[in-house]
Structure 1
């Protein structure tokens, strides 16, 4: 097994890291100052100033998949990104994860990334012209509205928002929350998941449709907080849709294809989160080590207390193991497809957030009172990462899939068959 990075993998990883070191890290304080000045729900000039530089350097839309050579008739190569594989992008995303605001500079922020992939893969030429082009140019932002407060949305078939055909329009009614991105003033469109056929089979009731946010009946009821953080200017909102009318041509792929689209969207999205999470963990261990080496307590550096040697060692081991699993999943997605890599995606989706949360928690502990303050990025990073144990499927759902795969290896043992039959009686 060869773990050596290819020339292309190294090339893009190093270029992204160099751009972050030269252009983003030196402006961290400027970003923080702009973030805390005036209205919280605003466009930050420092990000807008760096976008053209990233685009000019060819560091733009990394997540867009390489073309297969078999495109639909209405497709065009003008709707293509930098053409990185999942494995190549994984290395770049890890670098971005070390600097919280870096992904948007490269136009690689969620949920825009997933929405662009949906439009790229399933959208009509007209939908691409209207929404994909400005998204790829970084001119607008978008949202994805699936989760609902009234049902357990970890099971997407529970979604209750209704989409009723009325002539040339669909009329949408429902309530969504954790609608990431709706607080951004540039958020122009949302992909909404709802039911077009409540009487259909379990996985064919849902559809997805494009809803411009200025459509009458769309109302942002409130912006939600995460452990007290509002995550402005991006944010997560609770949104009501009351008799919202959108043209039938806004439907994505077709009626009853919503669950299929969601599965296609969430696979890459899950691993993108994990890639960035490894970068966050690297940021955490770096801050922790520096703090431990520069603070003295009880007559010696904190780093010289054995408990911290154990924690630092454990952090490094866990990061390296998690990175290998993440790269394995990305490589499988590239070589065998997303479906073949489902198990690896599920495992990394559980492992990465839990690993990073433990490292951030230790880093907070190492910083003492400063760790839970806003003077360091650790507390806010922990609060953001904690949501990943829910986002794109909670741990329990992924663990269930992993366990069922493991049980399946031994399900035909005579003793297992006998036990199953006894339960049925």
Structure 2
């Protein structure tokens, strides 16, 4: 049981809720750290969860689902399991329910909630399988798990995610007061494509998906933001995300989750470690409650259990000393963080208001927004994306717009001609963080 800052035991974790556990850690002044871990073999998956639970920091567990299950190719997932062939995650729909119960037995409890992570635009079977196994926390969203990972229409993804939300809410209602009953859903909207998406669009989609979840009955939500290319810009973006969540998600228990950089990771151990350190500092400076870590082997292969634990403990150690070196300053290359505002909040608010003005039903509004280009993700090839927006890295390494298409946000019109990216420019931008930290 975690303790509140005044020393009293908190009883929120007694509800067995993922969100309540994170809130308890926040009240105790601790950052929750979490791996992106998933293994095909059940006993290796169990070992990974146990090692995460035993790490010398405040952790939550992860079961990451394999690619076949994410896209609904259960026959391929089943064949891999029968032939004992490695997958890049845990096939929760294919494994018998009793197997997953055995994986979780003595592991998932009030002191160690477990989240299912998947990447599916068709999440219903995954959600059904996890609920049968007593798991009530997952992540995704109708936009963020459709555009990067799927070719299905956004309209269909909205229907799928509406159903998934209802499944989570109905399961909680049936369970009533049973422990572990309260569902938690994290939006992946702040991680669109992992890189080269300017922060105002990441913030807007994260909040819009959170509002979508709330409209479908969820009351425990987390909002994501992926570390990008410039520390000052990230600070401002997360402050904007927190402010908008406070304004637009009333009567919802929410927290912020930071993702360690999702793009091309440094190849050197030193560079990868420093990038993780900066993610931990970002989480502390912005009062974010949870951090998804990446390991020093990220650029080369799927990390081992031990490498994941090392990353968890390193991030927690950096977070623990960050307040001592000042919440308003952290190193990013040669840049120090400031509190300068460049308009991320205002631009994100404009996007959110434009989408909400299209329809009272947020699902229909999101579909319409992409049809009109009011939401337009740069470099995203999904058929429902307008593909008129473009971004670039300026001389300081900040993400900027060179073309916003029909999105209702201001832009320096001179940037269109000056920053018309070539293929070599795009490759240089994609590898910017890797090269910066490997130096």
Q: Whose Rg is larger?
A: 1
Normalized against structure 1, the TM-score is what?
Answer: 0.25
- Structure with the larger helix share: 1
